[in-house]
C-alpha cells in the first residue's frame, strides 16, 4: 500500500493543550424524542445511540456563540498556559472541519480575534479528524527548520446544524431504515474546541517533547465516510474494516522503523464509538486501562476530539510518561504520534 510516512522530531515540544466544552448538553434520549416519528414508523428501538455507539450525550454551542468563538477561547487559553504572547506566534493552523463558507479561511477570523501579528502565517488545514495531529507535524517541521519560533494549532466544531438537518430528513415519510443507518454516525457528533502551542524544546526545559511517529494512507476507502454541511453519510462496516486494516499496518510499520509503543502510559485515541474503540484496542493489543474514553459525554468532536481528550489527560500525566496519539480520519488516513511527557 502506498502513502507510507515515518517522521521524527528532535527539538519540538508541546507547550500547552487546552479545550473548551460547548455548554449546552444534549442527551441521546433527547435525540430519540426528536426522531420518535421515524423510529416508530421504521420499527427501530430507542436507545441505539447509547447501546450501540456508547454516546450518552453531546454538546452544542449556546445561541449566539460560534465554533470560531470556541476556537478563539481555546487559543487564548493555550497561549496563556504556555506563557507565549500573541506577538510571538509565527504560525496559526486552523484544523476545523466545520466552516460557514468556502472562503476566506476560518483561520483569518481566529487570527484577527487573537490579535496575532501580521507576520504570523495563517491558514486552514483540512484532513477530517486527523487535521489537528497533522497540524502539529507541520508546525514541528517549520520550527525545526528555523522558520518560526511558535505555532498555535486550533480546532472548533459545531454539530448542531448538521444534526438538525438530519432530524428533518430522517423524519420524512419516505425515509428508510437504510437512510437511518447511513446517517447514524451523524447523530454521534458533538461540538467543542481545542488548541495547542508548539515551540522549540531547547527553549523550554521540562516541556513535553514531540518525538514523531508514522502516517499511512488508505485512500481507496475515500467514499466510506462523506460529510458536508447538509449531512454525513457512512458505510459503518466498511469504515471499521478499512480503518482497522490501516491502523494495524501502520502499527507494524512503526515497529519496523524502531518505534516501540506496546507499553505506553497513555493511548489518546480519536473518539468515535464503542465498536471502534474496542476494535482498535483488540487489534493492536492495547491496555484498556490506559485508553481514556470521552465520547460517551462529548460524542465525536472531529479533529478537536483527540486534543480535547489529551487536555483532559494532561491533568494526571506526570513527567516521563509516554503518550501515543492515535487517529483515523475519513479518506482514509491514520497517524500515530508519540509525545514524551
Report the catalytic residues: 103, 129
CB 308 within 8 A of CB 192: yes
Short-list 115, 84, 270, 135, CA closest to 190: 270
How does DSSP assign 33-100, residue by residue? Answer: HHTHHHHHHTT--TTHIIIII---EEEEPPTT--HHHHHHHHHHHHHHHHT--GGGEEEEEE--S--S
d(C-alpha 336, C-alpha 216), whole Å = 9
Are the C-beta atoms of 139 and 151 separated by less than 8 Å? yes
* Cell digits of residue 37: 416519528
C-alpha–C-alpha distance, residues 268 and 123, integer Å: 26
Per the structure block, which three cell numbers stand in for 290? 490506559
Residues 6+ apart with CB under 8 A from 156: 66, 67, 68, 69, 70, 71, 72, 74, 94, 96, 98, 106, 192, 193, 304
Cell numbers at residue 266, please?
Answer: 497513555
Query: Which three cell numbers, joined as nine digits, stand for 119?
Result: 507576520
C-alpha cell at 310: 489529551
Phi first, then psi: what are they for 139, rounded to 5°? -65, -40
Which helix (H) or strand (E) segment is 338 a member of? strand 333-340
Amino acid at each position: 500500500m502506498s502513502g507510507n510516512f515515518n517522521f521524527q522530531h528532535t527539538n519540538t515540544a508541546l507547550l500547552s493543550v487546552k479545550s473548551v466544552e460547548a455548554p449546552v448538553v444534549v442527551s441521546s434520549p433527547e435525540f430519540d424524542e426528536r426522531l420518535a416519528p421515524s423510529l416508530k414508523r421504521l420499527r427501530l428501538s430507542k436507545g441505539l445511540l447509547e447501546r450501540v455507539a456508547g454516546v450518552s450525550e453531546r454538546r452544542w454551542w449556546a445561541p449566539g456563540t460560534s465554533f470560531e468563538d470556541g476556537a478563539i477561547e481555546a487559543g487564548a487559553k493555550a497561549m496563556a498556559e504556555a506563557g507565549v504572547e500573541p506577538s510571538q506566534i509565527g504560525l496559526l493552523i486552523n484544523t476545523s472541519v466545520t466552516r460557514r463558507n468556502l472562503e476566506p479561511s476560518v483561520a483569518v477570523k481566529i487570527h484577527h480575534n487573537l490579535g496575532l501579528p501580521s507576520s504570523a502565517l495563517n491558514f486552514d488545514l483540512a484532513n477530517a479528524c486527523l487535521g489537528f495531529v497533522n497540524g502539529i507535524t507541520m508546525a514541528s517541521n517549520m520550527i525545526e527548520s528555523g522558520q518560526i519560533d511558535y505555532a498555535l494549532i486550533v480546532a472548533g466544531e459545531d454539530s448542531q446544524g448538521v444534526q438538525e438537518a438530519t432530524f428533518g430528513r430522517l423524519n420524512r415519510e419516505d425515509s428508510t431504515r437504510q437512510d437511518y443507518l447511513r446517517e447514524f454516525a451523524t447523530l454521534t457528533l458533538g461540538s467543542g474546541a481545542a488548541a495547542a502551542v508548539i515551540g522549540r524544546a531547547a527553549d523550554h526545559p521540562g516541556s513535553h517533547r514531540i518525538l514523531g511517529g508514522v502516517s499511512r494512507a488508505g485512500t481507496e476507502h475515500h467514499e466510506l465516510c462523506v460529510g458536508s454541511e447538509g449531512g454525513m453519510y457512512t458505510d459503518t462496516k466498511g469504515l471499521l474494516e478499512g480503518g482497522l486494516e490501516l491502523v494495524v499496518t501502520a502499527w507494524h510499520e512503526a515497529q519496523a522503523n524502531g518505534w516501540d509503543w506496546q507499553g505506553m502510559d497513555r493511548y489518546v485515541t480519536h473518539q468515535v464509538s464503542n465498536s471502534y474503540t474496542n476494535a482498535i484496542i483488540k487489534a493492536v493489543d492495547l491496555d484498556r486501562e490506559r485508553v481514556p474514553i470521552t465520547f460517551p459525554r462529548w460524542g465525536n468532536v472531529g479533529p478537536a476530539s483527540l486534543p480535547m481528550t489529551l487536555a483532559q489527560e494532561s491533568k494526571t500525566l506526570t513527567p516521563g510518561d509516554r503518550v501515543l496519539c492515535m487517529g483515523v480520519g475519513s479518506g482514509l488516513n491514520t497517524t500515530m504520534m508519540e509525545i514524551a511527557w
